[in-house]
């Protein structure tokens, strides 16, 4: 399995029947090639979650639009109008988030799949590690009281 390395990191997350792609990387062809190498069926995605609108996070959206037209794309409500317009042009469904959401049914572990928007400027996001961003996003889901 040979994966192509580029700047940008899409993360595939599967919990029960829920299949999420957290960011899409910078290039649709790289996303498609790497998904094929990993034997991932991107047309089975439940949704895409976009952390912010930089090109290395949203470049793979044209592939997603081709594979699953109308798919929901969760993104912070403070994203710019050009990003929102591009989502519409691609035939995807923008789902703006400004507070924690439980968009999918609870999984087999009886834990909700929750996405919490990151409240930071794009510059702040670039200066922190992606693992910190992901941990903040998944923190409500990982709480033991769910």
Q: Would you state the structure tokens that stand for residue 102, as one six-digit string? A: 């439980």
Residue 61 lies in a domain: yes
Domain count, the chain: 1
pLDDT of residue 29: 92
Residue 113 lies in a domain: yes
Low-confidence ranges of the chain (pLDDT < 50): 112-128, 130, 141-146
Give the CATH number, domain containing residue 120: 3.60.15.10
Residue 51 lies in a domain: yes
Question: What span, in angstroms and rounded, lies between the C-alpha atoms of 77 and 99?
Answer: 9
Strands 18-22 and 11-15: antiparallel
pLDDT of residue 112: 46
Residue 25 lies in a domain: yes
Domain that holds residue 118: 11-142
């Amino acid at each position: 399995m040979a994966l192509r390395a580029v700047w940008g990191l899409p993360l595939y997350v599967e919990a029960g029947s829920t299949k999420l792609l957290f960011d899409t990387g910078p290039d649709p062809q790289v996303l498609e090639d790497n998904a094929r190498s990993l034997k991932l069926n991107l047309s089975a995605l439940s949704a895409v979650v976009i952390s912010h609108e930089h090109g290395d996070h949203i470049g793979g959206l044209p592939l997603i639009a081709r594979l699953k037209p109308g798919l929901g794309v969760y993104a912070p409500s403070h994203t710019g109008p050009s990003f929102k317009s591009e989502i519409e042009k691609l035939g995807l469904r923008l789902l703006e988030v400004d507070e924690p959401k439980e968009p999918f049914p609870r999984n087999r572990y009886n834990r909700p799949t929750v996405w919490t928007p990151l409240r930071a400027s794009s510059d702040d996001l670039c200066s922190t590690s992606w693992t910190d961003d992901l941990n903040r996003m998944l923190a409500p889901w990982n709480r033991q009281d769910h």
